[in-house]
Amino acid sequence: MSRRKRPLAEIEILPNDIQTKIISWAAKISIKGLRNVMLSSPTLAEAAADPQVYKNINLYILIVYPLTPLRSYRELMEHCLAAGNLQTHYIHGIKNISITTTSV
């Protein structure tokens, strides 16, 4: 049984740099929304794997619970740190302070 191709969404027809900019704006609003965009289409997931998107991801939930990245979100945190996401640097600093104070 062959799988029928679904028609492309209008955003998938746009140039890759425009897709990345739109996805970057979505990432500023919600990490959950970004995840949904990435799951919706391989084309959009590819456009979302851009440093500009990682730089703009809203990591508010991880700021509220800064030790969560110790157990999960490691790959995301690495990409965000490399892209210069300020929230990631804050979380990384809190994590380092926590590890330093618990090991003393």
CB atoms closer than 10 angstroms to residue 88: 25
Residue 75 in this model has a pLDDT that exceeds 70 = yes
10 lies in a domain?
no
Structurally, the chain folds into a number of domains equal to: 2
69 lies in a domain?
yes
Residue 89 sits in the same domain as residue 54: no
**Domain carrying residue 48:** 15-58
Q: What is the model's pLDDT at position 88? A: 92
- Segment 22-27 long-range contacts (CB within 8 Å, at least 24 positions apart): 23/47, 23/48, 23/50, 23/53, 24/50, 24/52, 24/53, 24/55, 24/56, 25/56, 27/53, 27/56, 27/57, 27/58
Residue 101 sits in the same domain as residue 64: yes
Query: Encoding tokens for residue 50?
Result: 């851009």
pLDDT-based confidence at residue 55 (cuts at 50, 70, 90) = very high
